[in-house]
A = this chain, B = another copy of it.
Amino acid sequence: MHVSGYNCIAGQRSAQGQTLVYSIDAHTGERLPGAFHQATLDEVDAAVAAASAAFPLYRQLPATRRAEFIEAIAEELDRLDDDFIALTCQETALPSARIVGERGRTSGQMRLFAQVLRRGDFYSARIDQALPTRTPLPRPDLRQYRIGVGPVAVFGASNFPLAFSTAGGDTAAALAAGCPVVFKAHSGHMATAERVAEALIRAAERTNMPVGVFNMIFGSGVGEALVKHPGIQAVGFTGSLKGGRALCDIAAARPHPIPVFAEMSSINPVLVLPQALETRGAQIAKELCGSVVQGCGQFCTNPGLVLGIRSAAFTAFIEQLGGHLAEQAPQTMLNAGTLTSYSKGLQALLAHPGIEHLSGQAQAGNQAQPQLFGADVSLLLEQNELLQEEVFGPCTIVIQVADEAELLRAVRALHGQLTATLLADEQDLPTFALVFGALEERVGRVLVNGYPTGVEVCDAMVHGGPYPATSDARGTSVGTLAIDRFLRPVCYQNVPDSLLPAALQDANPLGIQRLLDGIPSTAALSRLT
């Protein structure tokens, strides 16, 4: 399968630089055919200039036109064939069934944003009609809707080469919002990124989008220049705490600071409550093991911390969980760097006197061994960093607490999380209402009797949460609300219908719901002034 290794700028391929980077076979560690041209600073500049030039045109297209583009992307993604699937598997060591599923998820995500554009609630249109006879002063006609913030830089994640990458959730949300994208390809799947970028460009051409609506650059040194570029107005990122925080710091230090929506580190606590443990502890141990090792533990929502109240039943549960984990085969990780990080994370846990290794083969070789650790609750209460930072891979830490009161203290010691899960029977719930409330204040999503891995793409999803889960708890990177990150409100005072966007025109030509003098309404209106 031919790889050009060229950057995509304004709908053209570009390879001005001499620095070459290579994609690696995740199973063998060997270089794959083809070389990728790291973008030069001029190319970064050209990519942002292309996005900036596209912005005024693209943002003012009817939302239905943007929906057509996004649906065309979905079609192009669905057409990516078995060779493409094989290529992605080669780059990431993820199994083909997973990549086939992720392809469907990624095109489905695009189609969901097209629906959002067609239904129009993303505009958040509001109209306060003029009150010309109000005293002491009349009220002018005031209308509000939301426009895109401008060109968005998106950084792909390693662990979802499709759904959180080139045409992933951040790109979909930005394009839906009317924001052109400059995408920085992840080094872990550059050939995959090239194929997906080509699909995006085909969709843009088919639907006559402005050139520059989507651009992609390669290279390890280009991210900082991209985030610093004055043309970039917001950043989407999924990856490590270190990487995400670095981008936040760069963005905050700009002459004109911009928001960074970084999804970073979460240990996703799972609380196994007494009654549930009593009635189905063995089943929970088996299911939880499945959630820990799924996809080699390479999910942002991987359960990294298990909490329960000390009891004979919980001791038995820990043994069962350890037993299941010991039976799991090692798996190949996304790339050598991921395996190195995993090994280092395990070493830090093994070296700590307050942490006990409970189950798992010694980590060695080129695959990741599932691991179970036990930690003293005092470490959590003291906010020891080892217990707050994600060990990315098939590893989890179990902590026993004395009682409900200590469980509440433990929850209150947690940093921000993407998810928290209660495994609970009906009788557990009244006892743990305070715990539930404390979890709400620390997470983006609370689950009861489910497992955090598996993130539904829908209107109600929140894949976000307080720091360090993300850099901005008010956002989500999965689900339709993700579009909000890239929109800002604009108010029109006494603006004639001819200059107003369709969403705010008197006749309501889009037929959308608007907050009209404080009441939701789809009505047309006649101007009072």
A409 contacts partner chain B, Cβ-Cβ < 8 Å:
no
Contacting residues, chain B, for A81 (C-beta < 8 A): none
* Contact between chains at B126 and A460 (CB < 8 Å): yes
Selected from B144, B447, B496, the residue in CB contact (under 8 A) with A460 is B144
Nearest chain B residue, comparing its CB with the CB of A495: B448
Contact with B along A364-405 (1 / 0, CB 8 A): 000000000000000000000000000000000000000000
A200 contacts partner chain B, Cβ-Cβ < 8 Å:
no
* Contact between chains at B467 and A489 (CB < 8 Å): no
Are A448 and B481 CB-contacts (below 8 A) given A142-B456, A498-B429? no
Selected from B137, B150, B496, the residue in CB contact (under 8 A) with A426 is B496
A287 contacts partner chain B, Cβ-Cβ < 8 Å:
no
Cα distance A142–B460 when bound, in Å?
Answer: 6
**In the complex, chain A residues 445-470 whose Cβ is within 8 Å of any chain B Cβ:** 445-450, 454, 456, 458-462, 464, 466-468
Are A490 and B468 CB-contacts (below 8 A) given A149-B473, A450-B140? no
Distance in Å: Cβ of A119 to nearest Cβ of chain B: 7
Selected from B56, B147, B415, B491, the residue in CB contact (under 8 A) with A445 is B491
Contacting residues, chain B, for A506 (C-beta < 8 A): none
A143 contacts partner chain B, Cβ-Cβ < 8 Å:
yes
Selected from B142, B456, B481, B513, the residue in CB contact (under 8 A) with A489 is B481
A198 contacts partner chain B, Cβ-Cβ < 8 Å:
no
Distance in Å: Cβ of A313 to nearest Cβ of chain B: 22
Contacting residues, chain B, for A139 (C-beta < 8 A): 456, 458
* Contact between chains at A472 and B518 (CB < 8 Å): no
List 9 A-B residue pairs with CB atoms under 8 Å apart, sorted by A's residue number: A115-B518, A121-B515, A126-B460, A139-B458, A147-B440, A248-B252, A256-B468, A429-B499, A447-B495
